[in-house]
Amino acid sequence: MSVYSRLSGFRDVPPAARRAQLAEHTGRAPDEFRALDPSEGLTVEQADHMIENVVGVLGVPLGVATNFTINGDDVLVPMATEEPSVVAAASNAARIARAAGGFHTSSSRPIMQAQIQVVDVEDPEGARLRLLDARAELLRMADEQDPQLVELGGGARELSVRVVEARPGRYVVLHLMVDVRDAMGANAVNSMAEAVATRVEEIARGRALLRILTNKADTRLARANAVFDAATLGGADVVRDIVHAGALAEADPYRAATHNKGILNGITAVVLATGNDTRAVESGAHSHAVGSDGRYTALSHFETDADGNLTGTLELPMPVGLVGGATKVHPAARSAVRLLGVATAQQLSEVITAVGLAQNVAALRALATEGIQRGHMSLHARNVAVSAGASATELPQVVSRLVADRVVRADHAERVLAELRAGRP
Catalytic residues: 83, 261, 277, 376
Q: First and final CA of the chain: distance in angstroms?
A: 51
**Under rule CB under 6 A, residue 47 binds ligand NAD:** no
The stretch among 51-59, 93-101, 149-157, 361-369 that binds ligand NAD (CB under 6 A) is 149-157
Judged by CB under 6 A, the number of residues near ligand NAD is 23
Q: How far is the CB of 95 from ligand NAD (least distance, A)?
A: 33
Q: How far is the CB of 180 from ligand NAD (least distance, A)?
A: 6
The stretch among 245-253, 316-324, 359-367, 386-394 that binds ligand NAD (CB under 6 A) is 316-324
**Under rule CB under 6 A, residue 185 binds ligand NAD:** yes
Using the minimum distance from each CB to ligand NAD, give the nearer residue, 78 or 185: 185
Using the minimum distance from each CB to ligand NAD, give the nearer residue, 247 or 326: 326
Provide CB contacts within 8 A for 382, sequence distance 6+.
84, 395, 399
What's the Rg (C-alpha) of the chain?
24
Distances from the Cα of 80 to the Cαs of 35, 83, 305, 342, in angstroms?
14, 9, 33, 17
**Under rule CB under 6 A, residue 299 binds ligand NAD:** no
DSSP letter for 290, please. B
Q: At what angle do helices 345-368 and 372-387 cross, to 10 degrees?
A: 100
Out of 89, 90, 94, 188, name the contact with ligand NAD by CB under 6 A: 188
Residues 388, 408 contacting (CB under 8 angstroms): no
**C-alpha span between 191 and 183 (Å, rounded):** 14
**Under rule CB under 6 A, residue 324 binds ligand NAD:** yes
Out of 75, 213, 352, 358, name the contact with ligand NAD by CB under 6 A: 213
Residues 311, 226 contacting (CB under 8 angstroms): yes
Contacts (CB under 6 A) with ligand NAD, residues 237-296: 277, 280
Handedness of CA 196, 198, 202, 204 (dihedral sign): positive
**C-alpha span between 75 and 355 (Å, rounded):** 11
Amino acid (1-letter code) at residue 200 = V
Q: How far is the CB of 321 from ligand NAD (least distance, A)?
A: 5
Using the minimum distance from each CB to ligand NAD, give the nearer residue, 58 or 306: 58
Distances from the Cα of 294 to the Cαs of 187, 281, 367, in angstroms?
29, 20, 28
Cβ-count burial 261-296 (b if 16+ within 10 Å, e if not):
ebbbbbbbbbbbbbbbbbebbbbbbbbbbeeeeeee
Distances from the Cα of 353 to the Cαs of 45, 79, 241, 312, in angstroms?
33, 13, 23, 12
Using the minimum distance from each CB to ligand NAD, give the nearer residue, 21 or 191: 191
Using the minimum distance from each CB to ligand NAD, give the nearer residue, 185 or 266: 185
User: Backbone phi, then psi, for 374, in 5-degree steps?
Assistant: -60, -45
Using the minimum distance from each CB to ligand NAD, give the nearer residue, 112 or 364: 112
Provide CB contacts within 8 A for 250, sequence distance 6+.
256, 297, 298, 301
**Under rule CB under 6 A, residue 321 binds ligand NAD:** yes
Q: How far is the CB of 148 from ligand NAD (least distance, A)?
A: 4
Out of 31, 60, 72, 148, name the contact with ligand NAD by CB under 6 A: 148
**Under rule CB under 6 A, residue 323 binds ligand NAD:** yes
In the complex, residue closest to ligand NAD by CB: 324
**C-alpha span between 105 and 354 (Å, rounded):** 7
**Under rule CB under 6 A, residue 187 binds ligand NAD:** yes
**Under rule CB under 6 A, residue 215 binds ligand NAD:** yes
**Under rule CB under 6 A, residue 317 binds ligand NAD:** no
**C-alpha span between 193 and 199 (Å, rounded):** 10
**Under rule CB under 6 A, residue 184 binds ligand NAD:** yes
Using the minimum distance from each CB to ligand NAD, give the nearer residue, 132 or 326: 326
The stretch among 17-25, 142-150, 252-260, 310-318 that binds ligand NAD (CB under 6 A) is 142-150
| Residue 45 CB neighbour total at 10 angstroms | 8
Using the minimum distance from each CB to ligand NAD, give the nearer residue, 180 or 364: 180
**Under rule CB under 6 A, residue 320 binds ligand NAD:** no
The stretch among 11-19, 75-83, 174-182, 241-249 that binds ligand NAD (CB under 6 A) is 174-182
Residues 163, 125 contacting (CB under 8 angstroms): yes
**C-alpha span between 174 and 197 (Å, rounded):** 10
**Under rule CB under 6 A, residue 343 binds ligand NAD:** no
Q: Contact residues for ligand NAD (CB under 6 A)?
A: 146, 148-149, 152, 154, 180-188, 190, 213, 215, 277, 280, 321, 323-325
